[in-house]
A = this chain, B = another copy of it.
């Protein structure tokens, strides 16, 4: 833990915006560093009803990662998972293209039950996080339904059909976040972003198009970010033109955008600073905002801790620079 450089935060709150696996890794590093001072706002554009159950893939990845339950090898789902439900479902003639593990299923059944009983997704997520001993606040971006639709050369596809069913094969033309304009940011999300003591907003190295843009598409969140005076820092999800995991580079190519950190900086034009990987050191001069060049590939737990400390350190420096400018 980089005590020296994060000391200036002195218990001030930090908000992270986050999708699934890659983002959750950094969220874990941040939580290890600042615990209850962290609020993670999570993409729910991938949520869908499957087998009559409400599945929230990104929220679950964050809950499992911060709760110490995730399968680090496989990269998604729970450790020590078994698949007897799926096997049995197949035997009954049920749908098996989207795999739900036996342990994972408990989350979907409990969530579906709670939502049907009138509990909000926010309150359910908060209760589970507490039950799992997670210090940070984990918040869905909205309690209203937002649906990420991937508009492809083969037609519009619901996110999971594109991502899991078709393994991201169709060529992406654009993304739509249905109902995002109408969806309300929850009071908890607005309180976190509107906290006058906020020290930083961190955009995790999640897929900008599939995981972060749905969050930014919620108009209440976008407006709240416009009023945030704390530094907003993003971490480029690309290393040497490739994402560690997932289709970010493929989608950028399909959208006619170069798959590099320069394009990421342009995509996030409202942020105050971008962290790029050492591999992409050469891009630093082409980016029209403050850049921090760091190792961003999170293989070990120490990598997560170090990158989390770098994010906070960068935010503190950006705030100092801003203060010097003002005074």
Contacts and interface: CB of A to CB of B under 8 A. Distances in A.
A52 B106 contact: no
Interface string A94-124: 1000000111111101101100100000000
Interface string A60-91: 00000000000000000010111011111101
A92 B103 CA distance: 10
B89 A106 contact: yes
A297 B94 CA distance: 37
Interface in A110-165: 110, 112-113, 116, 127-128, 131-132
A131 B82 contact: no
At the interface, is chain A mostly helix, strand, loop or mixed?
Answer: helix
Nearest to A49: B113
Contact of A93 (B101, B104, B109, B131): B131
Interface string A20-44: 0000000000000000000000000
A175 interface: no
Contacts of A131: 91-93
A53 interface: yes
Copy tally for this chain in the complex stands at 2
A51 interface: yes
Nearest to A127: B93
A89 B109 contact: yes
A109 B78 contact: no
B88 A102 contact: yes
A52 B80 CA distance: 25
Contact of A52 (B78, B92, B104, B112): B112
Contacts of A102: 82, 84-85, 88, 102, 105
Interface of A: 51-53, 78, 80-82, 84-89, 91-94, 101-107, 109-110, 112-113, 116, 127-128, 131-132
Given A51-B110, A85-B105, A92-B132, 15 more contacts: A51-B113, A52-B109, A52-B113, A81-B84, A82-B82, A85-B85, A85-B106, A88-B102, A88-B104, A89-B106, A89-B110, A92-B107, A93-B131, A102-B105, A109-B109
Those 6 A-B pairs whose CB atoms lie nearest each other, nearest first: A52-B113, A88-B106, A88-B103, A89-B106, A102-B102, A84-B102
